[in-house]
Structure 1
């Protein structure tokens, strides 16, 4: 008898997940718009540009101080049950007066707080229990 290799698709015509593995939709999608990657890296490139300009004009202490303040502002926040507006980071970057996509459509928790006990949330954040 001839040994036949099993078909990778079942009798329904669907791919056999045990033989082929799980597929991801993201891997089958084509690349996005031409400006998508540029839009995603704009803030990082803009920060690098401003740090380079500050270093060439004011010396190395200015970008180091600004970078330290940005790191501190990223660590600080509100209580864990309240969403952070990240106003301090926006002020340090100079984008607090700009109206962008993030200001209008990117805040799912705009008017609400999570219904958890703030004391328990702080204990969990501080790793007390």
Structure 2
């Protein structure tokens, strides 16, 4: 077996091994864990609170989070803000992708609203 044939066989075996690995494990092992990160973190927090504070405090916190998530916003405001829910979840001090790029002013099509200054100036 010469060097070229050996190298070609080695490359083909490597490709077939990679293909088998992709079929057996189509995603990274941490994918499931990271996809459910917030849910897992909340469950761990509730479990810790249940062990230290008793059953009443986690139930009260869950009820407050559920009620804070249902709070609406004024019709004149285009984006809804769940500031109280963010504070209860502890994510009010973090800046995420949705905080910057999920705003209406960064969208391609600005809705035609009476208080929209850009569209009012064009008319």
Query: Normalising to structure 2: TM-score of the pair?
Result: 0.56
More helix by share: 2
Q: In structure 1, what is the equivalent of residue 89 of structure 2?
A: 93
What's the secondary structure of 2:98's corresponding residue? helix
**Equivalent residue of 1:78, what SS?**
coil
| C-alpha RMSD of matched pairs (Å) | 2.8
Count of residues paired in the alignment: 87
Change in Cα spacing, 1:84 to 1:52, as seen in structure 2 (3 Å) is same
1:2-40 Cα shifts (integer Å, max 9, x gaps): xxxxxxxxxxxxxxxxxxxxxxxxxxxxx6665444333
1:44 paired residue among 1, 22, 39: 39
2:61 corresponds in structure 1 to 66
Which of the pair has the greater relative contact order for Cα pairs under 8 Å at 6+ separation?
1
**Structure 2, unaligned runs of 5 or more:** 1-25, 115-123
The structure 1 segments of at least 4 consecutive aligned residues displaced by more than 4 Å after TM superposition are 31-36, 110-117
Match of 1:78?
73
Answer whether contact 1:54 1:62 (CA < 8 A) is retained.
yes
Max Rg structure: 2
